[in-house]
A and B are shown apart, each in its own frame.
Chain A
Amino acid sequence: MIVLGLEGTAWNLSASLVSDDEVLCEANSPYIPIVGGIHPREAAQHFANNVIGVISEVLSSTDLHSIEGVAFSQGPGLGPCLRIVGTAARAIALRLGVPLVGVNHCIAHIEIERWKTDLSDPIVLYVSGANSQVLSYRQKRYRILGETLDIGIGNCLDKFARSAGLTHPGGPKVERLAQESQRYIPMPYVVKGMDFSFSGIATAAQEALKSALLEDICHSFQETAFSMLVEVCERALSQTDKSDLLLAGGVGANKRLQEMLAVMCSERSARFFAPKSEYLQDNGAMIAYTGLLMLSHGLHTPIAASGANPNFRPDEVEVPWIKG
């Protein structure tokens, strides 16, 4: 089976074709803000201007009759962006007369890693701009074991970075500055059961800019926020008796976060999987591949149910492709 996948939840507009065995091709058109962070309307305009381009690019190399389904990122994400890729996906599915399938962006991040590694049943730490969740498969669904009570870790980093005068995306700049410091300034550490909260630390870090060195704040910010994530992951491994941990989402590119998770895992003899950078960031291949999984298990999305779902939770999706 060959499936066309369209990703467009926030910043990266991406189209891809995958078969049962491999990613056939992918075309990307990232939206890069000139100033500030991601502006939903501007991102959507960028998507609208470029969606035909990325789709044409991947379709130019294939026989249209070989495509058996069209998958698109239905959520979670920015409404205006989701609507662009949803409209494009509907149009193509109707034109080709093939089924349409709305994919959960978070599950797509997990599935592409399960496809590309030997992972079968990991605990997943999914960290991106808007999302921060710890997930675990159980009884036909990815269950959310823990999640942020307020903002995502990526937004928290970006928010602080902007107030420190660092340009978007702030995460990599904070990471670089943090390497220059070893001085720890106490910051709010909020773990409640299996959930964490980042709004307090965002405020505290902004406040600290008045009195402390930027390098020290970046270091302390990362140490505190990442420790919260690692602690919940460790608890999740312990509670579920699972022994693999998978990192997914854009913030997963952070080397310090990877290092902390690796240390935690090695101390409890668990395996840690940091994904390849090409799949850490949002990509069309993961949407196409997850769409392929869904279609080959009889799941598709009727046009009437294909609207954008900005708050789409991974545990809303039935997962029949995992046994057990």
Chain B
Amino acid sequence: MDQGIVEVVTGAEAAVYIQAHSVTKKRVPKKYRAAELDIKLRKERTKSETKIQSEARKAGVPTPIIQEIDGFDITMERIEGPSVRSVINETIAEQIGEVLCTLHSAGIAHGDPTTRNMIVLNKRIYLIDFGLASYDKSLEARGVDVHVFFQSLEASHENFRALKKAFLAGYTKKCRDAEQVLSKVEEIKGRGRYL
């Protein structure tokens, strides 16, 4: 981290330092847990996050390029575009459907695909924050992803019905089993869970 820090975002697990051209995600130590466990978890997660994020990119999902891994810190390129949350429309929602289908087809579940974790740049949708991502092809994991995305729509967008419809049009284009995923979404919703 050598450039000026533009903004710091603190999550549950990590602090994200946004700089002029790069972003550094630092997994901070947690004092509540045993030091050995703390180091082990942060090491494993840093490794898995960078691996999955790069794999997703190789599979054709726009994600920031990883520039450096230093201990528990990941530095990646900064995608300098607006958050999907602030610019979403039906065209973008449809594109998100295609992107998420591409990710799922590569056997990856994002884990937290909310509109906050997507950026628009040059008409492409970038997925960011692979901190909860996993290699998981199951209908359950895919259903959870779609459910989480829908919830983020419902939480902050008035026209969420139209956006959902557009998303599904995009998702169905390449993911032929979209209907099964959708019935999983209904099942997850029925559990009353709030993921």
Binding site for B on A (CB under 8 A): 136, 138, 141, 143-145, 184, 186, 189, 192-194, 223-224, 227, 230-231, 234-235, 237-239, 259-261, 263-264, 267, 313, 315-316
Q: Verify B11–A238 contact, CB threshold 8 A.
A: yes
> A138 vs B192: C-alpha distance in the bound complex, in angstroms?
11
Contact between chains at A264 and B30 (CB < 8 Å): yes
Determine which of A223, A267, A315, A316 lies in contact with B37 in the assembled complex, contact meaning CB atoms within 8 Å.
A223
- Given A235-B12, A235-B13, answer yes or no on A143-B32 (Cβ-Cβ < 8 Å): no
Q: Which of A141, A184, A264 contacts B34 (CB 8 A)?
A: A184
Are B194 and A313 interface neighbours, CB within 8 A? no
- Asked if B32 and A184 make an inter-chain contact with CB atoms under 8 angstroms apart, the answer reads no
Q: Which of B34, B111, B192 contacts A223 (CB 8 A)?
A: B34
CB-based nearest A residue for B36: A184
Report how far A316 CA is from B190 CA in the complex, Å. Answer: 11
Q: Do residues B13 and A144 form an inter-chain contact, with CB atoms below 8 A?
A: no
Taking the nearest CB of chain A, how far is it from the CB of B195, in angstroms? 6
Would you call A263 and B195 a contact (CB within 8 A)? Answer: no
A316 neighbours in B (Cβ, 8 Å): 192
Contact A144 B194 (CB under 8 A): yes
Asked if A227 and B33 sit within 8 Å, CB to CB, the answer is yes
Given A186-B40, A235-B12, A238-B12 in contact, is the A143-B194 Cβ separation under 8 Å?
yes
Q: Is the CB of A227 within 8 A of B12?
A: no
Q: Which residues of A contact B37 (CB under 8 A)?
A: 184, 186, 189, 223-224, 227
Which residue among B12, B32, B36, B132 has the maximum number of chain A CB atoms within 10 Å of its CB?
B32
Nearest-Cβ distance from residue B82 to partner chain A, whole angstroms: 22
The answer to whether B193 has its CB under 8 Å from any CB of chain A is yes
Q: CA separation between A186 and B112, bound complex, in Å?
A: 28
Q: Indicate the member of B11, B37, B112 with the most A CB atoms within 10 Å.
A: B37
Q: Are B13 and A263 in contact (CB under 8 A)?
A: no
Contacts of B176 in A (CB 8 A): none
Is there an interface contact between B34 and A193, defined as CB atoms closer than 8 Å?
no
- Give the chain B neighbours of A184 by CB distance below 8 A: 34, 36-37
Contact B41 A261 (CB under 8 A): no
A-B contact pairs, 19 of them (CB 8 A): A138-B194, A143-B194, A144-B193, A184-B34, A189-B40, A192-B134, A193-B112, A193-B132, A193-B144, A194-B195, A227-B34, A230-B30, A231-B30, A234-B30, A237-B12, A238-B12, A259-B32, A260-B33, A315-B193
B31 lies within 8 A of chain A by Cβ? yes
Contact A313–B192 (Cβ < 8 Å): yes
In the bound assembly, the distance between CA atoms of A239 and B31 in angstroms comes to 20
Interface residues of B in 10-63 (CB under 8 A from A): 11-13, 30-34, 36-37, 40-41
List of B residues within 8 angstroms of A145 by Cβ: 193-195
In the complex, chain B residues whose CB is within 8 Å of the CB of A259: 32
Contact A227 to B192, CB < 8 A, known contacts A193-B111, A193-B132, A235-B12 = no
B11 to chain A: closest residue by CB: A238
Contacts of A186 in B (CB 8 A): 36-37, 40
Chain B residues with CB under 8 Å of A223's CB are 33-34, 37
Given the complex of chains A and B, what is the CA–CA distance between A144 and B192 in angstroms? Answer: 7
Give the docked Cα–Cα distance between A194 and B193 (Å): 11
Given the complex of chains A and B, what is the CA–CA distance between A105 and B41 in angstroms?
34
- A230 (CB) vs chain B CBs: closest residue: B32
Bound together, the chains give a CA A143 to CA B192 distance in angstroms of: 7
Given contacts A224-B37, A230-B33, A260-B32, 19 further A-B contacts (CB under 8 A): A138-B194, A143-B192, A143-B194, A144-B194, A184-B34, A184-B36, A186-B36, A186-B37, A192-B134, A193-B112, A227-B30, A227-B33, A231-B12, A235-B12, A259-B32, A260-B33, A261-B32, A263-B31, A315-B192
Least Cβ distance of A134 to chain B in Å?
A: 10
Measured between beta carbons, the chain A residues less than 8 angstroms from B112 are 193
Q: Identify B194's interface contact among A136, A260, A267, CB under 8 A.
A: A136
| Bound: A297/B88 CA distance, A | 41
A234 near B194 with CB under 8 A, answer no
Contacts of B194 in A (CB 8 A): 136, 138, 143-145
Residue of A nearest to B112 (CB): A193
User: B33 to A143, Cβ gap below 8 A?
Assistant: no
Q: Name the distance in Å between A309's Cβ and chain B's nearest Cβ.
A: 15
Q: How far is the CA of A150 from the CA of B134 in the complex (A)?
A: 20
Interface residues in B78-127 (C-beta closer than 8 Å to A): 111-112
